[in-house]
Amino acid sequence: MPTFDETPGPMEWPYPIEWDKTDEIDTDVLVIGGGASGCFAAMGAASRGARVVLWEKAATMTSGAMGSGCDHWEMAATNPCSRVTPEELADAMIRGHRGYNNGISHYIEARESYDRLLDLERYGAKIRDTNDEFKGADFRDDATKFMFAYDYVNRFTLRVWGTTFKRAMYRGAKILKAQVVDRTMGAGLLTEGGRMGARVVGAVAINGRTGKFTVCRAKSVVFCMSRPTRLWLFAPGATGISEFRPPQCTGDGHAMAWRVGGSFTMLEKSLRGEWSGLRSFPPYSTGNNHNTWYACTMIDAEGRQIPWLDRDGRELQTVAERYRPSPGQKFYMKGGGEPDFPFYEFQGPETLPVEEALKRGYKLPFYADLTSMPETERRVIWGMMVGNEGKTRTPVYKAYNDAGFDPARDALQSYGDGWRSGQFLPQERQFFGIPGGMVNDWRLMTNLEGLFAAGDVLFASDCVGHAAATGHYAGRHAADYAASHGPVTLHQPQVDAERARLFEPLQRQKGLSGQALAEAITRVMQNYCGAVKSDDLLHEGLRGLEDLKEESKALVARNPHDLLRAQETLNVLTNAELVIHSCLARKASSHQLQFTRLDYPEMDPPAWHKFVTVWRDEGGVRNGELPIDYYGDLADNYERHNADYIAGARP
């Protein structure tokens, strides 16, 4: 058992302190965030001949939500084995979410996510069963050696060796001559004349080891900084596991864009918590039968199998049937992209719901039973999938193997309802599934000229295939934009104001800790922006956030590391305000958006079936709207905006 014996005491800062220095750089395209979307944005822009700088807050080789791995690659409709078209998949994504989805980004994903897999292979990643470990398995295509998950008939989701991916992305970005700068947090946007809502002309950053301030002049900027977290959930003393996504993912891009007039939609949508720190078990670490573990057999405490049912409630007799559409069904959606609520047309097999199983006398606790799975299915789940999913390779696969877990002998216990393995209160909410984000056009440009968005910065985003595809696409279009626009000029007073704002927490040695502020934000959000909302409650919440803004003037950072954490927490505070304004703007309840208003109780009135948008200008917060199908015909628009790419212009 480890002990705290070697916990160090306070020590002198070991890196050079450079917060008095300013670096000034100039580029065509600045990419902020070096996860999957950021690396591909850098590659996409560089493939068009642009000069590219990429800023990553952590270490690009391992950082981002999938930095340490991923087990499947979704929506690869153009792979040679797929039996569905990009149009069919995008249509399922849109209708499955009753229209509240990003038609543009998911169509891009369906058209290009397979291309990105081939890029990864080119840069050294493993995407095929080249060692013939699974030869002859149901889920393998012996000609291409591709392996598939979920729907084995339609074959549009690939099983992949994702622990090899992030290094390949990093390598690809460097081979294409993007300048990758680690430990550097993009912290503020610069606009033409320093005006809100004006063209974006660059950004500023701080280094988490030296405190150095960097000012970058760029003709276009691509935001790849994931989504807000820690608005409702925070784990004091274990802040790193407050949420499903990494702790450094704090929605910095959302906060930066909101400050200068970026437009957002769907941020009124939040879900009751599914994953958080010490409240639930880590994802895929317990007995379950979803995603990484689909479609594992579940048994009860007395060893009886919990029945698997198809969409019509018909009990399935074999394991193979779990991987096939129901009679009369074209394909089903699982593992990314599946609707939040059951949607008959695309509904895949599931086990009997827990409540129903208990009524029928099945005994808790339940277990995942790999022992009774066919040998290749057992080996692909406990081996390839758990061994490649990022948060399970070391802490689950390696740790359980080392502790003696044997998938051919042992049953792994399930907690709660098995999937989430944790129980949350209604006000403990989270952005999960496909939450809100920045509004985009067909170039993946935002409402701010010159600012592009990719991955989880976009509204209604999810998963790594989406991040990679939209990253490359946004990078290409950002490069085209840079090539067709002249040099930009920075507004020095804005640069100076950003420097003063960012270094402010260094001004004192005593005061408010980042953790105390972080916890206080979640208290305001739980109290006033929880499971039920009303104008009165939400306005009270805004007042609470104003108080915290006052208090945050006492925030302390004693070194560059703590300064980065302080800025992240201040971004969370900004994002809390953005989310409350998003909730105020929708004056109607919506089942699909999991949005309940006490003062507008009617669910989904037709007049509100639209995207509500929010942004700021000099006069305050503004609201607007977009038709639910504002993106128009998917294939036509895609082809109109990507003629070069379709013609094979990519490297």
Cα separation, 123 vs 126, in Å, equals 9
The span of 107-115, 285-293, 491-499, 588-596 binding another protein (CB under 8 A) equals 285-293
Residue 463 CB, shortest distance to another protein, in Å, is: 17
When asked if residue 278 is in the footprint of another protein (CB under 8 A), the reply is yes
Residue placing its CB nearer to another protein in the complex, 363 or 591: 363
558 binds another protein (CB under 8 A): yes
Q: 213, 19 in Cβ contact below 8 A?
A: yes
Return the number of other C-beta atoms located less than 10 Å from residue 2's C-beta. Answer: 5
Looking at residues 67 to 106 of the shown chain, list those that interact with another protein (rule: CB under 8 A): 67-68
Kindly tell me which of 36 and 634 has the beta carbon lying closer to another protein: 36
Contact between 274 and 280 (Cβ < 8 Å): yes
Task: Report helix, strand or coil for 222.
Answer: strand
From the CB of 316, what's the least distance to another protein, in Å?
A: 17
Euclidean distance between CA atoms 130 and 225, whole angstroms: 34
In the structure encoding, which two tokens stand for residue 70, read together?
């991923």
Query: How far apart are CB 149 and another protein at their closest, in Å?
Result: 21
Nearer to another protein, 224 or 460 (CB): 224
User: Which CB atom, from 332 or from 415, has the smaller least distance to another protein?
Assistant: 415
CB of 208 to another protein, least distance (A): 6
Smaller CB distance to another protein: residue 146 or 275? 275
Q: Which of 350, 410, 504, 540 binds another protein (CB under 8 A)?
A: 410
Q: Which is nearer to another protein, 278 or 646 (CB)?
A: 278
Q: Between residues 435 and 514, which has the closer beta carbon with respect to another protein?
A: 514
Q: Judged by CB under 8 A, does residue 361 bind another protein?
A: yes
Only segment of 100-108, 327-335, 559-567, 629-637 that touches another protein (CB under 8 A)? 559-567
Q: How many CB atoms lie within 10 A of CB 420?
A: 21
**Residue 372 lies near another protein (rule: CB under 8 A):** yes
- Ranges of beta strands (E only) in 196-323 are 200-207, 213-223, 264-265, 271-272, 298-299, 308-309
The site that binds another protein (CB under 8 A) totals a number of residues, namely: 74
What does the alpha-carbon distance between residue 12 and residue 213 come to, in Å, rounded to a whole number? 21
Q: Work out whether 305 is an interface residue with another protein (CB under 8 A).
A: no
**Under rule CB under 8 A, residue 328 binds another protein:** no
373 scored as a contact of another protein (CB under 8 A): no
Please state, in angstroms and as integers, the Cα–Cα distance from residue 76 to each residue in 38, 86, 207, 285, 432, following that order: 20, 8, 37, 27, 22
The answer to whether residue 364 forms part of the interface with another protein (CB under 8 A) is no
User: What are phi and psi for residue 40, nearest 5 degrees?
Assistant: -70, -30
* Residue choice 237, 313, 328, 606 for contact with another protein (CB under 8 A): 237
Q: According to the binding rule CB under 8 A, does residue 360 interact with another protein?
A: yes
Contact between 387 and another protein by CB under 8 A: the answer reads: no
Q: Is 492 exposed, middle or buried (0-12, 13-18, 19+ CB in 10 A)?
A: exposed
Largest distance between two CA atoms of the chain? 71
What is the C-alpha to C-alpha distance for residues 461 and 266, in angstroms, rounded to an integer?
Answer: 11
- 319 sits near another protein (criterion: CB under 8 A): no
Stretch that binds another protein, among 237-245, 336-344, 460-468, 545-553 (CB under 8 A): 237-245
Q: Which of 4, 131, 136, 327 binds another protein (CB under 8 A)?
A: 4
Asked if residue 63 binds another protein (CB under 8 A), the reply is yes
Cβ(52)–Cβ(46) under 8 Å?
yes
CA angle 185, 234, 414 (to 5 degrees): 115
Q: 161 - beta bridge partners? A: 126
Q: Which of 375, 409, 510, 550 binds another protein (CB under 8 A)?
A: 409
- What whole-number distance in Å separates Cα of residue 510 and Cα of residue 273? 34
State how far the Cα of 407 lies from the Cα of 419, in Å rounded to an integer.
Answer: 19
**Of residues 172 and 208, the one with the C-beta less far from another protein:** 208
Q: Applying CB under 8 A, does 62 fall inside the site for another protein?
A: yes
Stretch that binds another protein, among 112-120, 192-200, 356-364, 589-597 (CB under 8 A): 356-364
Reading the block at residue 313, the tokens are: 């409630």
Q: Is 253 among the residues that bind another protein (CB under 8 A)?
A: no
Q: How far is CA 367 from the centre of its chain?
A: 29
178 vs 474: CA distance, rounded Å: 15
How is residue 470 annotated by DSSP?
Answer: H
**Cα–Cα distance measured from residue 173 to residue 36, given in angstroms and rounded to the nearest whole number:** 11
Q: Binding to another protein (CB under 8 A): which residues in 414-473? A: 415
Applying the rule CB under 8 A, the residues between 499 and 538 that interact with another protein are: 509
From 27, 79, 101, 163, residue interacting with another protein (rule: CB under 8 A): 163
